[in-house]
């Protein structure tokens, strides 16, 4: 998969789909639209802005807005928890079924709403973007551990399993769009996902004695292959039949922990989109 290299752009906040507007210009327009559409809406309050700015600042502090891939050094503390335990613990050795139950329980505890798995092979390796929006190139090779160097992320070929997760964002705030307070839902979703993936999940897998690699940017084909969702017209075009369009982050983690692949689904979403047309330009 190819994605436009945005390295060196002066303003990465430009929304190409919104006529070249910045995010601030886009949201100012949304605020004006809301006031015209609903005369009783008087605009954002101090409480609205306080919540939004809190979520935006914590999102930035978790580094997702600064680093385009979770890096090994972003982990909190030692990564070999099983060796520093008292007494030292051996590497976890379980069956794929036991590993699935273990990882699923841990990820649910960390806040992930959906957990699916794909086997990594010659086909699914092609579903990783060649170069992401931050200019980092991804390659599969025979390296022992996942690492990044000179804007190249090296994913070991021995990482044969891909965990595909999705996190439900705050639905109550999303239903208040386009009000300012509704915008607090998406940075909060990213912040929760960053803690759950970059630190907690990375630490958990390494604590069991296994590897972790997390190429950034979306991969709709993997999500469709493993049943995270179905192809659709709107949003990230991988729509969950359980959580709909309220999934804020759909991300993947590669590991050498043996797991069980999950099958694709048929919820009728793709067929429905063939005739619905609600999200067509000019109709939404």
Its pTM stands at 0.75
270 and 223 in contact (C-beta within 8 Å)?
no
CA dist 29 → 32, 181, 236, 247, 271 (Å): 5, 15, 23, 24, 34
Average confidence score pLDDT of the chain: 78
| 155-213 pLDDT, tens digit each | 999 999 999 988 888 888 888 877 888 888 888 877 777 777 666 787 788 888 888 88
**pLDDT tens, 234-276?**
766 788 898 887 877 677 889 999 999 999 999 999 899 888 8
Asked if residues 227 and 116 have their Cβ atoms less than 8 Å apart, the reply is yes
What integer pLDDT is reported at residue 75 of this predicted model? 47
Q: Provide the residue ranges of all domains of the chain, joining segments of one domain with +.
A: 14-121+159-273
Structure tokens that stand for 88 in this block? 């030292």
């Amino acid at each position: 998969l190819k994605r436009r290299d945005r390295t060196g752009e002066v303003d990465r906040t430009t929304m190409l789909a919104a006529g070249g507007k910045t995010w601030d210009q886009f949201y100012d327009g949304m605020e004006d639209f809301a006031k015209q559409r609903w005369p009783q809406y008087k605009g954002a309050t101090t409480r609205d802005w306080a919540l939004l700015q809190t979520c935006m600042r914590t999102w930035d502090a978790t580094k997702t807005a600064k680093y385009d891939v979770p890096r090994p050094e972003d982990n909190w503390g030692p990564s070999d928890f099983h060796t520093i335990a008292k007494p030292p613990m051996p590497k976890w050795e379980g069956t794929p079924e036991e590993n699935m139950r273990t990882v699923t329980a841990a990820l649910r505890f960390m806040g992930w709403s959906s957990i699916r798995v794909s086997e990594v092979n010659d086909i699914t390796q092609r579903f990783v973007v060649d170069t992401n929006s931050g200019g980092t190139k991804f390659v599969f090779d025979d390296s022992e551990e996942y690492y990044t160097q000179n804007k190249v992320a090296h994913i070991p070929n021995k990482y044969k399993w891909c965990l595909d997760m999705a996190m439900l964002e705050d639905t109550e705030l999303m239903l208040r769009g386009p009000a300012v307070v509704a915008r607090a839902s998406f940075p909060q979703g990213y912040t929760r996902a960053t803690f759950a993936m970059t630190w907690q999940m990375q630490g958990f897998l390494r604590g069991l004695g296994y590897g972790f690699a997390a190429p950034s940017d979306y991969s709709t084909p993997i999500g469709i292959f493993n049943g995270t969702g179905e192809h659709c017209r709107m949003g990230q075009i991988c729509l969950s039949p359980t959580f709909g369009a309220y999934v804020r982050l759909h991300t993947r983690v590669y590991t050498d922990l043996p797991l069980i692949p999950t099958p694709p689904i048929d919820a009728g979403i793709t067929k429905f989109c063939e005739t619905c047309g609600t999200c067509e330009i000019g109709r939404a």
